[in-house]
A and B are shown apart, each in its own frame.
Chain A
Amino acid sequence: MARPGLEAASPAGSRAGVVRGLTSPLLPLGLLALGAVALAAAASSAGAVAVAAGVAGVALSGST
Chain B
Amino acid sequence: VFAAGLVLGGAVTGGLLGLAAVLLPFSPTPASLALAALGAIALAAYDLRVRAVALPQRRSLILQEVFLRSHAAGFLQFGLEFGSGVRTYVTSAAPYGVVALVLLATDGALPGLLAGLSFGLGRAVAPLQALGADEARWSGDLTAVSRLLERSGSAVVAVVAVLLFLPSIR
Interface on A for B, CB 8 Å cutoff? 3-8, 16, 19-20, 22-26, 28-29, 32-33, 36-37, 39-41, 43, 45-46, 48-64
Contact = CB atoms under 8 A, between A and B. Distances in A.
Contacts of B20: none
A24 B143 CA distance: 10
Contacts of B97: 52, 56
B150 A40 contact: no
21 contacts: A3-B140, A3-B143, A4-B141, A5-B144, A25-B145, A49-B164, A50-B117, A52-B98, A53-B95, A53-B116, A53-B119, A54-B122, A57-B120, A58-B126, A58-B149, A59-B95, A59-B152, A59-B154, A60-B150, A63-B88, A64-B89
Contacts, number: 200
A61 B152 CA distance: 13
Interface of B: 10, 14, 28, 61-62, 82, 88-92, 94-95, 97-98, 101-102, 105-106, 108, 110-111, 114-127, 129, 132-134, 136-146, 148-150, 152-154, 156-157, 159-160, 163-164, 167
